[in-house]
Every structure is written in structure tokens, then in C-alpha cells.
Amino acid sequence: MIRMTELSIGQEVELELGGKAKVAGIIGSGGQGTVYLVEYNAMKWALK
């Protein structure tokens, strides 16, 4: 995510296209913020 908000596991994030991505875990964090593992449309994605 761009800005400093922390997301919690299970939290749902709405997509502009429609539909929601559900936070499943944290992949990593670096200088530009945290990258989360999410589930969307039955597939795993990375959310930044």
C-alpha cells in the first residue's frame, strides 16, 4: 500500500474493478512499505 497504513490479516481491500482481496499474510517489508499476500478470485496475489 502506498502510505503508511498497516493492514491486518483477514482484512479485505476493495479493488477499483470491483471485488475484494483478502489479506492472508505478509510477504515482506522494505524501504517502500509492506507487501502482503492476498487472495483474490481464488488466486494468490501480492499487494503493495
Partner 1 sequence: MKDPEQFKANIKRNISDGAPSNKFIWPRYLTKSMEDGTFGYLMEVKPDSFDSFVDILNTYKLKVDPLTGRAVREPVRFTDLKAMVTACINIANAFRQLHRAGKSYQDLNDGGFFINTDTGAVLVVDCDNIAPDGANFGIGGKPGYMAPEIVRGIAKPDTQTDKYSLAVVLFKLLFRGDPMEGEKVVKDVCLTEAAELKHYGSEALFVYDPNDASNRPVRGIHDNVIKFWRIYPDYIKDAFIKSFTEGLTDPNKRIIENEWQQLFMRLRTEIIACTCGRTNFTSMFEKQDSTTYRCPKCGMTFATLGFSNKEYRMPLYIGCKFYECDIEQNSDDFIGVAGELVENKLKPGVLGIRNSSEKVWNVKMPDNQFYKVDPGKGCPIWPGLEIDFGDVTAKI
Partner 2 sequence: MSKKNKGKNPEQAVNEQQAAVEETAVENTAPADDLDDMFDFDDDPLGATGVSRKSLVIFFLIDTSGSMKGTKMGELNTVMEELIPEIRKVGEADTEVKLAVLTFSTDVKWMYSEPIAIEDFEWARLNAKGVTSMGAAFKELNTRMSRNSFLNSPSLSFAPVIFLMTDGYPSDDYQAGLKELSTNSWYKFGLKAALGIGNEANDDMLAEFTGSKDTVVHAYSGNQLAQMIKIVAVTASQIGSKSMTLADQNESELSDEDVYASKQKMLGQQIQELVNQNESDDVSFDTGW
Tell me phi and psi for residue 44, to 5 degrees: -90, 135
Would you count residue 29 as binding partner 2 (CB under 8 A)?
yes
Would you count residue 31 as binding partner 2 (CB under 8 A)?
yes
Other C-beta atoms closer than 10 Å to the C-beta of 38 total 21
Report the greatest alpha carbon distance in the chain: 29
CB of 23 closer than 8 Å to CB of 11: yes
Write the interaction track for partner 1 spanning residues 17-46; mark x where CB under 8 A is met and - where it is not: x---x-----x--xxx----xx-x---xxx
Binding site for partner 1 (CB under 8 A): 1-3, 5, 13-17, 21, 27, 30-32, 37-38, 40, 44-48
Binding site for partner 2 (CB under 8 A): 29-31
